[in-house]
Structures are given as C-alpha cells and as structure tokens.
Structure 1
C-alpha cells in the first residue's frame, strides 16, 4: 500500500511512499519548516495504485472544470 502524508500547517505533501518513509519525510518537513510544532495533518492511502503515483480521473475532471471556470471568468 502507498501512502501520502499531508502537512497540517501548510500545503506540503509527500509523494506516494511506503508508510514508514512517508512518516519520516513528514517529520523532517515539520522539523525544518515548523520547528516546535508537533507533526500533524492527515494521511491518504492509494489503494488503486499501491506501487506509484497517479492522478485519478476525478482529479483530472476537477482540474478541467476549474480551468473552464477560470477561462469563462476571464472572458467576462
């Protein structure tokens, strides 16, 4: 299973990694970027593609809809 750890303080997220490696990278991020704050945020699991990263169809569709909205707003 692949895991992605999200920072609870900023937009940082790890790539899809093994659980222990992702947790270590999140801890390193907090140590460098948010000293004195306990590591927080949330963990996302990638059950569909446990070996690597991929953008899901819903994510692509969401990005396309957002770009469409921005394009329409710019034409007003």
Structure 2
C-alpha cells in the first residue's frame, strides 16, 4: 500500500508517512497554524511500498535501449 507525506513550501515541516488523505489534512492544518494567510503548497512524496520496484522500470528502459542498439547495428551491416 502506498503511503504519502507532504512537505511545507514555506518551512521545513514534513508530515510523517500516512494515507494520502491524512497527510493532506496534516499539511492543511500546519498551514492554518503556521502560515494562516497562505494557500497550502509544497510537495508530496509517494512511497509505493512495493519493496524496491522502482528499479524495474529503469532496467526495462536500459534493456530496450540495448536491443535498439543491436537492431541498428545489425541493420547497418547490409
């Protein structure tokens, strides 16, 4: 299950890893307390919780590029 955390765009406050709605509620509460005249902003981070699945996409791209280079190399041998 993915968890989320939000970082304040005005200071260094960061919510803990929570469900998306809870992280959003906490950043809105933070802005209401610490930056009352500003619209909530900042950044949201997503932790996929899939156990290291982030490198699979990079590996697939690298593999695809290698195959493409081999095909181009073979096509140029004619």
TM beyond 0.5: yes
Which region of structure 1 is more displaced relative to structure 2, 21-30 or 40-49?
A: 40-49
Match of 1:14 in 2: 15
Match of 1:48 in 2: 49
* Structure 2 unaligned blocks of 5 or more: 52-78
Q: Please state how far the C-alpha of 1:49 moved relative to its aligned partner.
A: 6.0
How many matched pairs?
A: 50
Deviates more, 1:31-40 or 1:41-50: 41-50
Q: Secondary structure at the match of 2:39?
A: coil
Aligned to 2:25: 24
CA RMSD of aligned residues (A): 1.6
Runs of 4+ aligned residues of structure 1 deviating over 2 Å after TM superposition are none
Give the structure-1-normalised TM-score: 0.62
Local SS of the residue matching 1:10: coil
Alignment of structure 1 residues 50-69 onto 2, 5 Å: none
**Rg bigger for which structure?**
2
From the superposition, tell whether residues 4 and 49 of structure 1 become closer, same or farther in structure 2 (CA, over 3 Å).
farther
Query: Per the alignment, in what secondary structure is the counterpart of residue 12 of structure 2?
Result: coil
Flag structure 1 segments of 5+ consecutive residues without an equivalent: 51-76
